[in-house]
Every structure is written in C-alpha cells, then in structure tokens.
Amino acid sequence: MDVKKNVIIESIGTYLPPESHSTSDIMKACTNKISFPLENITGIRTRRMAGKHEFSIDLARKAISDCLANSKYHPNDIDILVCCNISRYDNLNQVSFEPSTSIKLRKYFGFNKAIVFDLSNACAGMFTGIYLVNALIKSGAIRLGMVVSGEYITHLTKTAQKEIEGYMDTRLACLTLGDAGAALILEESDSDQIGFQELEMQTLSRYSKYCIAKTSDYGGMIMYTDSVNLTDAAVKSGATHSLNVLQKAAWSPESFQHLIMHQTSRMTLNSARREINQLLKKIVCNDDNTINNLEQRGNTASTSHFVALHDQIRNNKIKSGDKVIFSISASGLTIGTALYTFDDLPKRIRQIDADGSEQEEITPSNHIKQKNDTKYPRIRIESLGTIQEYSIEKHNSLELLKQAATNCLNNSSYHYSDIDLLIHTGVYRSEYLLEPAYAALLAGELDINSTYSDSGYDKTLAFDIFNGALGFLNACFVAQQMIVAKNCKTAMIVAVETENNAESFPDELMNIRETGSAIILDSSPLEETGFSQFLFSYNSETLSAYATFCNTEHKTPYLNIKKDPNLNDLYIDSILPAVQELLEKEGLDFNEIKIVFPPQISSAFITRLAKSLGLQRGKFVDVVGEGMDFFSSSLVYALQGAYQNKLVKPGDKGLIIAVGSGIQVGCAIYHF
C-alpha cells in the first residue's frame, strides 16, 4: 500500500523594510484629529513602512532571496511560481497591471522552467497559493512550487490619513497596516507524519462587500472596511470551521502547540480565541499557544501568517515536531484552516541564522525535474456563456460578469450550488478594484454557497488569477489539476474587461472589447474528450514590449499603456516554437489538428498567424472580424463561434493558443 505523503514547507523567507513608524505618529499625522485608542485596541505599537525606495515587487524579491538562502534548491528547480500579493504598487503612484509580477520575478531570479502567474485573494492570497500548489504536487503536475507575496500596503495608510473624518470611519483599518514580504518553497514529504495534515478553504461571499480596496475619489488607493460585521462573520464561521477540520483530522483540541490567526488586531484575536473556547466549553486557546505578532508588525495582509511564523521560529518559540493550526480569514469572506506538523525546518532556520551556513545543495544526480510523462485525465468544457452585444452595460465590470456567468449556468446541467471552484481571470475592472477577489464579489451577486454550512457540502472557493490575456488558460490548467487532485468536481472560470480610460481619457484606450465570458469545467464522462496537456512558454527578453499601470497621483486615475509597435510580430515569433513543442509532447502532427482557436486580437493577426504556422486559414476560428480584441474572453467567444457555425464534430482535435504580456504563450489540445 502506498504511504500517504503530505506537502511540506521546505524553506521560508521574509523581508521587512527598515523604517518603523509608531501608531501614535500615524494618528498624529491624520489631517483630522481622531480621538480613538487605536494602539490599545489593536495591540499595534509600531509597523514597518516601505514606499521611499522599496515597493511591492521589491519586498517580494527580497523575501525570495531569503527563502532561497534557506533552501537546498535553486531557482531552476522550481516548477511553478505563484505571486499572491493584493498590492501591485510597484513604484511611486503606480499600480502595475501588466505584465504580471510573477513573470518579472521569473526573469530576475532565473526560474527558467517555472510556470508563473499572479493570484489574488485578499489577505488569504498566500494560503490560496499554497492550496493550489498543494493540489498540483498531489496531482503529479509539479514537484516543487514557490508561493510569494510582497505587500506594500501602507500607501493606503497615507491616503487614509488625508481622508479619515472620525473613529467610526470605514477607512480606519488602513491605519493598522504594515509592509512585508514572504516566500515559501513547497515539496512532497517522505512521510505522512509531517507537513500539511489538512488544508481546507472556502468563500462566504455573502460578506464580500464588507471590505473593498480601490482607487480613492481624492487620489491614491483606499480601503473601506465594515470591521464590526466582517469580524463577527469571520470569528464565528472561522472558529466552527477550525474545529470541524480538527475533528476530521482526528486531532484532539489539546494536541496543538500553536494557533496562528490572521494578524489584524488584538481584539479580533481575543474574540476568536474566546469563540473557540466557548464552542469547546473549556479553555484550550490561551496566551501561551495563541501567537500575537502585532506589536511591531501590524497587519501585513497576505504575508501576516508567515511573518509571524518566521518571527516565532527565529525566537525559538516554534520547534521541530510542533503542531500548528493556521486559521485563515480574509475579505471576500474567505475562511480556512490548515493543520501543519513541522519537520526540522525550525532547527535549520535557526542554525542558518546562528552561523551563516547554507543548506546542503542537492546533487546533480538527485536534481529535481518536472514530470513530463504524466497523463492527465480529460477535463471537459461542460458549458459556456457570453453576453449579447446589445445587452452590455458598459464600464460596469461586475454587471458584465454576472450576465456572462448567469448565461453559462443557464446552459449547464449544474446548479449554482454545484460550483466548487470559481476563478476570475480578467485584468481591467471598474474603479481598479483590487480587494476582495472579483470572483468573491461575483459569487456574492449570484449567491453561490455564500454562507457557512457545517455539512461540508455545497461550498465554494473563489479567487482571481491575474496574468493578462494568458490568465484564462492558466485558470483552465489550474482547474484541471484541482479536479484531478479531488479538490473540486466542478469549476467555473470567468473573465471581464473594462476600458478604464474610456470616460476620462477616451483617446488613450486599450482597444479591448468590454465584455464578459464564462465556462464550466468538469470531469469528462468520455475518456477521450476534453483538455489533455497544457504548455506555457516565456520570452523573458520581451518584458517591456507591453506594460500597463494605473497612475494614482491625481484625483482621476489614469491607465498608462505602453505597447511596442512590433508587438504582434513578437507574439507570432513566440507562438510558433511553443506550438511545435506542445505537438511534439502530444505526439501529434499539424495535419491532425482540425481546428485552431487563436487569440482573437484581429482578423489580420489571425491571418498572419496561420501563415506562420503553415496551416490553412480556414482552420482558424475568427470571431473578432474588424472589432476590438476579445483579450481574456478570446477562447470562450471562439468556442461559441465554432459551435454555432458547426465547425467541430466529435473526434476532432483543436489547438488552443493564448498570448499575452511578458511575452507569454499558452497552448493546449482540446479533444471534441
């Protein structure tokens, strides 16, 4: 019998910017006098603040450097890199949108064989990344994964200091934030006694609007938080969730040594601890086993669990063999519980800190290589949904998304409650909203398993994948592996795009179609139907060919768009070798491809691509015509066009191609 093996944290790294600022000074710097004992309520005395010479991507980069210094592995060993920060504030007054943070880090460190994309799920981002990498390792798709986040979020503090009007202001939580970076390397263990014993997450989307981060009406970015109602929902549902997961894992309530919750405030930690003790009808959580890392760190968003973990390892509080409960909560509302048993990682970290030694490197004979022989079960597209042109209410991203998802569900055999996984992959959204995940807002609009149920059935995890026009195909790959790993049975992938400059700067547009799309994926009842392999390739020398960022300096935010005049040539040059590699892996010849689903950039682009690939133009689905780029919705509209025009029949093999900033190419074979 095969021994169950868990996923372990092979290495951890963190980074804190050097400047420290007190809560007292933060309060004094507010334009309006705020009479509120913030330090006493939150337990936050000081927090680290970046923003002069370091921003989000810099914090992530330095955390990765620390993580690699504590690891026996090298960048070229990593199979996937997932970047999970909420903040994309990568330069003064600049919120980056394309290319993704992960592909920039891929180039910087030389993660040369890693699949990369960004993931966004508010303060649950890093744990969502871990959840995903855990599934990919268990499905056999990868062996080593890195999850990283760089949270420069105190720019929200600076905006709030100008705007807050009183202690009941919903922007008050912005004054509790601190900056940090964190990174982990994950791999399969040799034992079922260590690593993640359980890891469960779900989104309670009824509360998704209790915390919103977006551009401010006065310039900069801001966060609005209904702290009372969000905390109440998170504490009650989170405590019940943790106890249910403990029971599932057969851990007794007294068996753990440490409880690490999302570090928001002392009052919230105490409330959660009290709720758990009341449910158990005895005192189990106390000052000794509940980690409070707030005093000198503040709320560091998606990095907070791991900054606390690393701090406690370094001060010798967490030891090898210790059992830890990670209680996860984030706006969305995403809750979760991870049960973890440590190997010798704490001892190794302290040894490296003590004498400056490095991990023993793996030998070339044991060098980790990505599996190339894995045969993936077929995952099919069960239904799809788009939007009729005449019904589109422009510039309202959530309304567009709701229409597309509703149409998809109307075409499906599944009910709303059957959706286990919901991933949004659009890039440009109304008001540049970055928190919570757009998928969580959609789940709330559609009431998809939006409240907690003790039964464990009918639950949904919602998050965003953020990777330009390639994000949709990344999400198809992720959904495939999550289904294979039995993390879900059905997945809905959605996308929406909005022209952010349309109203204020109509002469400077992305020239992408304002629309939404959705598909539902499940296990194919027919062995030979659905997606087989995916392939993602990267041309790191072309990072600057396509870049966008939101300038937040002034009252009206502005999307800065930079495109190389030869961008389409670069795209086509990158696509050909990727397609050839995929066909070789699949053992297919070009002649066996009956239909091609290209990026719906323009008819002219499709014509040039057909010529480059040496295929008949008639094999290429073209629904874009003379219209604007379908961008992240290209695949769904192309599939819809093929079905409507009866271009495919059972047994046909289709080649799917996506291309985007980076430059990145994604390809897949779909068996009809």
Task: Report DSSP letters for 285-321, one per residue.
Answer: --TTTB----TTT-B-GGGHHHHHHHHHHHTT-S-TT
Q: Quick one: pLDDT at residue 526? A: 83
Burial of 50 (0-12, 13-18, 19+ CB in 10 A): buried
How many whole angstroms separate alpha carbon 104 and alpha carbon 81?
A: 11
Closest of 642, 626, 385, 390 to residue 516, by C-alpha: 385
Burial of 279 (0-12, 13-18, 19+ CB in 10 A): middle
Q: Is the bond into 333 cis (omega within 30 degrees of 0)? A: yes
- Confirm if 520 and 491 have CB atoms less than 8 A apart: yes
The predicted-structure confidence for 284-323, as pLDDT tens digits, reads as follows: 999 999 999 999 999 999 999 999 999 999 999 999 999 9
Closest of 620, 615, 616 to residue 634, by C-alpha: 620
Task: Report DSSP letters for 536-577, one per residue.
Answer: EEE-GGGGGGEEEEEE-SSSS-EEEEEE-TTHHHHHHHHHHH
Beta strands 653-660 and 664-671: pairing type? Answer: antiparallel
- Confirm if 523 and 481 have CB atoms less than 8 A apart: no
Domains of the chain: 7-357 (3.40.47.10), 379-671 (3.40.47.10)
Q: Quick one: pLDDT at residue 312? A: 97
525 secondary structure, DSSP code? S
Q: Find the length of the chain.
A: 672
Token readout for 613 is 């690939």
Burial of 177 (0-12, 13-18, 19+ CB in 10 A): buried
How many whole angstroms separate alpha carbon 126 and alpha carbon 82?
A: 9
Token readout for 225 is 């938080």
How many CA within 13 A on the CB side of residue 53? 3
Closest of 532, 649, 537 to residue 595, by C-alpha: 649
Q: Quick one: pLDDT at residue 368? A: 39
**Residue that the structure tokens 């963190």 belong to:** 14
How many whole angstroms separate alpha carbon 202 and alpha carbon 448?
A: 11
Q: Quick one: pLDDT at residue 15? A: 98
How many whole angstroms separate alpha carbon 471 and alpha carbon 101?
A: 13
125 phi/psi in degrees, rounded to 5: -55, -50
Burial of 591 (0-12, 13-18, 19+ CB in 10 A): exposed
Could you give the residue ranges of the DSSP H alpha helices within 339-450? 345-355, 397-410, 438-446
**Radius of gyration for the alpha carbons in the chain, expressed in angstroms and rounded:** 24
Token readout for 21 is 């600022």
What are the C-alpha distances in Å from 160 to residues 48, 172, 176, 221, 418?
Answer: 17, 7, 11, 9, 40
667 secondary structure, DSSP code? E
How many whole angstroms separate alpha carbon 358 and alpha carbon 552?
A: 42
Low-confidence ranges of the chain (pLDDT < 70): 1-4, 357-376, 390-395, 454-456
Beta strands 516-523 and 490-496: pairing type? Answer: antiparallel
Largest Cα span, the chain: 74
Fill in the amino acid letter for 18: P
Strand partners, 48: 20
104 phi/psi in degrees, rounded to 5: -65, -40
How many CA within 13 A on the CB side of residue 394? 10
Fill in the amino acid letter for 569: D
Give the three-state DSSP class for 37. Answer: coil
Give the three-state DSSP class for 154. Answer: helix
What are the C-alpha distances in Å from 111 to residues 102, 104, 175, 222?
Answer: 10, 10, 36, 34
Task: Report DSSP letters for 414-432, one per residue.
Answer: S-GGG--EEEE-----GGG
How many whole angstroms separate alpha carbon 534 and alpha carbon 667?
A: 6
Strand partners, 595: 654
What is the per-residue burial (b if ≥16 Cβ within 10 Å, else e) of 357-367? eebeeeeeeee
Q: What do you get for the CA distance between the two ends of the chain, in Å?
A: 37
205 secondary structure, DSSP code? G
Strand partners, 7: 188
Q: Quick one: pLDDT at residue 84? A: 98
Q: How many helices (H) and strands (E) does the chain have?
A: 16, 26
